[in-house]
Amino acid sequence: MSFINRIVDRMKIENFQIFDKPKERNIVYLEGCNPEGTPNKDEPNHFNDLRMVFEFNDYGDAEILGGWQATTEPGYYYTDNPMNRKGAARIAFGQYKAWQVGIHGYSEPHESLIQVDNVRVHRDYNRDMIRTGDLIEPGLFGINQHHGFDHPVNDIYTASAGCLVGRTRHEHKTFMTIIKQDPRYKANPDFVFSTTILDGSKISS
């Protein structure tokens, strides 16, 4: 079975919404997954997750429009220096309708997807960089989808305090261009995008 069909099947198993009308974009992050669809060790402080956008063609088949290196997790810096006393935020696996096109950042403002509704996060109070046993908290935390300032693959550094981050500036611009072709956004610039975060190890071959 193809990589994209494995993703679609996993979304169906989880009872997540799949957008299959013409040109509708599906945004998915696969934690611990390589661009070719194989799982990796999901080492801490690495851009070793996958940001992906897919749509359905005129024949009803899912097609990948883009896949890029990303992180769904904070790196060492914000794990050790959390912005919240409860611990760094690590988004919970799931699907959320929670993002609008907007501007992220102060030092280098850039077009991104900005959180506008609740998501669930695990609070890494013990700083072990895993979700197991961590407090789960829903809310608006500024979990945006932005770029990672071209940081190297093996050092997230300050690129994420819990946001969903594509590693490079160029690839992030491509991501934004693709999702803005969604007819729902074209009809309404305040459209709220859904995003699905999956455990890459569960996308079985």
Report domain extents, the chain.
3-202
pLDDT of 204 > 80? The answer is: no
Amino acid type, 106 = Y
What local confidence, expressed as pLDDT, does residue 205 receive? 59
Residues 6+ positions from 106 with CB-CB distance below 8 Å: none
pLDDT of 6 > 80? The answer is: yes
Residues 6+ positions from 204 with CB-CB distance below 8 Å: 6
Closest to 194 in 3D by CA, of 89, 113, 76, 137? 113
Chain centre distance of CA 130: 17
Tell me which DSSP letter residue 9 carries. Answer: H
Residue with tokens 């050092």: 155
Give 40-86 pLDDT, tens digit per residue.
999 999 999 999 999 999 999 999 999 999 999 999 999 999 999 99
- How far apart CA 134 and CA 124 sit, in angstroms, is 6
Q: Is the dihedral of CA 167, 171, 175, 176 positive or negative?
A: positive
Give 102-120 pLDDT, tens digit per residue.
999 999 999 999 999 999 9
- How far apart CA 204 and CA 169 sit, in angstroms, is 30
Number of Cβ within 10 Å of residue 185's Cβ equals 18
- How far apart CA 126 and CA 116 sit, in angstroms, is 28
Rounded to an integer, the average pLDDT of 176-195 is 98
Split at pLDDT 50, 70, 90, the class of 1 is confident
Percent over 70 (pLDDT), the chain: 99
The encoded tokens of residue 133 equal 């046993």
Give 9-45 pLDDT, tens digit per residue.
999 999 999 999 999 999 999 999 999 899 999 999 9
Contact 203, 30 (CB under 8 A): yes
Rounded alpha-carbon distances, angstroms, from residue 18 to 21, 34, 83, 103, 115: 9, 22, 33, 27, 20
Rounded to an integer, the average pLDDT of 134-144 is 97
Number of Cβ within 10 Å of residue 81's Cβ equals 11
